[in-house]
Structure 1
């Protein structure tokens, strides 16, 4: 969708009277906010201003994927790796001399067949997207969240996916993705209790007439390298751009330049005003917008939309501060960057989510334990840890 100037007429921000300043505008109902900020809903509207992406409806393509994501066991789907050959074979019944009876062999093979998980339709869909994007890599996420907390699961500590198993490994390991699934469940069953804070997401059935059904989506973006210092989070309340925050919690010397800050603020505000607020198909009044500005300041890309809800990270602001800005809007949105090296997240994104990490050798052990030919049953996380501890004890007992 191309931008128009001047933008189409629509109710816009205005300087509030003293009485209005004391009364905040009602927030967009959660269900409506979640509906419009899911990737598959806003992407068709802003396709020209976002990285090339493909949205896969999970229930249509592979509904079993949701059961696999929600299961306590951890075993990668068969045939999802670089090779499409089945991970398990009939090697255990090759006619060689074994200590088990034929009946026992048959029982083991039956249990092994039950343990194997295959997501053939979704495998094919992911491989087709990778091929369409010139052989990959792709960046995977669900309706709202990306598995940023699980990057340590892939070689190189990044989120580049080349094969379906990369996608599955990241999504299965991510708490952020788990929250998306819980959030979808809560929109379908509002009485359920949310994991965050132990409170149910307040969604009203009255919103159902305004928005459509929220369905689980797998989003695959064509990978392109971002300069993380040029990613920003924008806070829009009552169709007013109140504040802009640096998105990566790392100290950058060049962002301390006040002239560059002014240029970035102008570029972002102009883009928001002409493209986002100029889109009559996008009705939200309250939302959080993630953007990327190219280093030459010549282009702004939409990375994501987020609902104005407590689960969305306000980064260098607090929601109380943002509400105060809403009550007394600034003439121009404030831009905040990290100004103290001591507050920087050492090691970048990986350090930000360090509480979610486990040792690399344990990750490799879990993968080999689940996928190896000697394993015929899926393992829970507790079982993997117990096996790991037993292996360590065994090695210690043989250490001189």
Structure 2
């Protein structure tokens, strides 16, 4: 495959492609390949969780004239479920889940914990089936596979760790140069970011020069990190840099004009390479712009707030049941 083009970029940003190169910089993870039958289930429009992963009625409660199995047929993935259980236990019993490129952050409202923390396969299936981001990942996977050969669908499980949102940053790379850094959570003000902005930026620049730039093959991309002062930087993810990128406090129009030490209007290129700047020259020619929320900034709205359900439904099914259990029971009740 040619080392240029959209498909090559997608493949390089897929978690499995870069994980081994940066294994020492990421949290403990397990990569589980998704078999064809599970992939078909994820691509389908049917919102029924696999067998042993959802609440079903006792057959004696259903009239003989009603064929529940025909209406609510539950797929079975015993081997895949075992792999998920083993991976979850191996990572401490609680995991964060994502596919090749995206996490189902738009579906956290549907779980009983209202988060992306998963402790069993049912949580994982529920998040994957409910997420528009995951649906987009699957569409990309299908498109890339059709043009570049089969690309494995990977389910990534990461050891669950409580992360303060004020320690997450997104970094923007143009023509192999770090041109922008932004706090990841743009809906909150964190005073210590402004108080320590110079130290934070210096640590990120050094990390990019020493760890990211020598190993990652693309010219234009984003990478997300966790940086708590006094602690090691943890790499979270890589992503494409294009018009669909969440540029946070930057804009795509701004970023595509940026180069090291200039505001040129030349479009992003995946072929042209530029000579790297010496570390001692970074302050004068290549220092990236650092954007963060300060006390005078109007805080943007949370882009994920429009994903969710009405509050009356949340109150109704609060407690042990989650939303999917409630919906499945209502479907069954209305069919009786």
Per the TM superposition, whether the score is higher than 0.5 is yes
Q: 1:215: which partner in 2? A: 152
**Matched position secondary structure for 1:166:** helix
Q: Structure 1 residue 320: deviation in Å?
A: 1.5
Q: 1:396: which partner in 2? A: none
**Matched position secondary structure for 2:306:** helix
Q: 2:166: which partner in 1? A: 229
Structure 1 residues 65-74 or 37-46, which shifts more?
A: 65-74
Q: 2:221 aligns with which of 284, 287, 294?
A: 287
Structure 1 residues 41-50 or 64-73, which shifts more?
A: 64-73
Q: 1:354 aligns with which of 275, 286, 305?
A: 305
Q: Structure 1 residue 341: deviation in Å?
A: 5.9
User: In the aligned structure 2, how far is the partner of 1:240 from the partner of 1:159?
Assistant: 33
| Largest Rg, 1 or 2 | 1
Task: Report 1:195-210 matches (<5 A).
Answer: 208=148
Does 2:91 align with 1:157?
A: no
Q: 1:11: which partner in 2? A: none
Q: Structure 1 residue 70: deviation in Å?
A: 2.1
Gaps of 5+ in 1: 1-26, 190-204, 377-386, 391-400
Kindly indicate whether the alpha-carbon contact (under 8 Å) linking 2:91 and 2:158 is maintained by their aligned counterparts in 1. Answer: no
Q: 1:137 aligns with which of 87, 94, 97?
A: 94
Count of residues in correspondence between the two structures: 303
Kindly indicate whether the alpha-carbon contact (under 8 Å) linking 2:184 and 2:248 is maintained by their aligned counterparts in 1. Answer: yes
User: In the aligned structure 2, how far is the partner of 1:87 from the partner of 1:156?
Assistant: 21
Identify if the C-alpha distance between structure 1 residues 178 and 34 changes in structure 2 by more than 3 Å, giving closer, same or farther.
same
Q: 1:14: which partner in 2? A: none
Q: 1:3: which partner in 2? A: none
Kindly indicate whether the alpha-carbon contact (under 8 Å) linking 2:174 and 2:258 is maintained by their aligned counterparts in 1. Answer: no
Does 2:60 align with 1:91?
A: yes
Q: 1:252: which partner in 2? A: 190
Q: Structure 1 residue 163: deviation in Å?
A: 0.8
Cα deviation code 1:137-162 (max 9, x no counterpart): 10000000001111111234211100
Kindly indicate whether the alpha-carbon contact (under 8 Å) linking 2:182 and 2:291 is maintained by their aligned counterparts in 1. Answer: yes
Structure 1 stretches of at least 4 aligned residues deviating more than 6 Å after TM superposition: none
User: In the aligned structure 2, how far is the partner of 1:118 from the partner of 1:66?
Assistant: 13
Does 2:74 align with 1:119?
A: no
User: In the aligned structure 2, how far is the partner of 1:65 from the partner of 1:262?
Assistant: 47
Q: 2:237: which partner in 1? A: 304
Q: Structure 1 residue 78: deviation in Å?
A: 1.6
Kindly indicate whether the alpha-carbon contact (under 8 Å) linking 1:57 and 1:217 is maintained by their aligned counterparts in 2. Answer: yes
Q: Structure 1 residue 216: deviation in Å?
A: 1.2
User: In the aligned structure 2, how far is the partner of 1:109 from the partner of 1:159?
Assistant: 31
Structure 1 residues 335-344 or 34-43, which shifts more?
A: 335-344
Cα deviation code 1:350-388 (max 9, x no counterpart): x4311111136267464234258x839xxxxxxxxxx6x
* TM-score of the superposed pair, with normalisation by structure 1: 0.69
Task: Report 1:1-400 matches (<5 A).
Answer: 28-59=4-35, 63-80=36-53, 87=56, 90-91=59-60, 100=64, 104=65, 108=67, 111=70, 115-134=73-92, 136-189=93-146, 208=148, 213-249=150-186, 250-257=188-195, 260-279=196-215, 282-296=216-230, 298-326=231-259, 328=262, 330-340=285-295, 343-344=298-299, 351-359=302-310, 361=313, 364=322, 366-370=324-328, 375=332
User: In the aligned structure 2, how far is the partner of 1:87 from the partner of 1:319?
Assistant: 47
User: In the aligned structure 1, how far is the partner of 2:296 from the partner of 2:303?
Assistant: 15
Q: Which has the higher contact order (CA 8 A, sep 6+)?
A: 1
Gaps of 5+ in 2: 264-284
User: In the aligned structure 2, how far is the partner of 1:92 from the partner of 1:153?
Assistant: 27
Kindly indicate whether the alpha-carbon contact (under 8 Å) linking 1:28 and 1:286 is maintained by their aligned counterparts in 2. Answer: no
Identify if the C-alpha distance between structure 1 residues 340 and 324 changes in structure 2 by more than 3 Å, giving closer, same or farther.
farther
* TM-score of the superposed pair, with normalisation by structure 2: 0.81
